[in-house]
Amino acid sequence: MQIKVYATLRDVVGGPSVQLDHVTQLTVGEVIDRLFTQYPDMRPLLLKGNGELHSAFHILVNGRDARYLNGLETTVSARDEIRIFPPVGGGLA
């Protein structure tokens, strides 16, 4: 499964995308957890102090915001396209 990342996240992962191998079916939350295992510096960027995902981040599954699907419980497979966009302007509140 390929996950495309943008802006500041590219610095954390060392490029424009991350490959997760041996994926059949996961939730978006499980994908994020795997990313945190590979890239621990990503955790404080994506999560608030209480462990919730920053609302300024957008996770798209096949072009649709996961918030409007089933959130972190959205099921994805190896053929799905996942993109993670950090805040574009302003910052985190």
Place of tokens 């649709």: 64
Instruction: Give me 15's structure tokens.
Output: 């490029």
Q: What is the pTM of this model?
A: 0.85
pLDDT tens column, 24-62: 899 999 999 999 999 999 998 888 878 788 888 899 999
- Across the strands, what pairs with 61? 64, 82
Nearest Cα to Cα of residue 30 among 80, 64, 89 = 80
pLDDT at 41: 93
> Is the model's pLDDT at 5 over the cut of 90?
yes
pLDDT at 10: 93
Q: Report the alpha-carbon angle 28-83-9, nearest 5.
A: 100
At 90, is the pLDDT very low, low, confident or very high (cuts 50, 70, 90)?
low
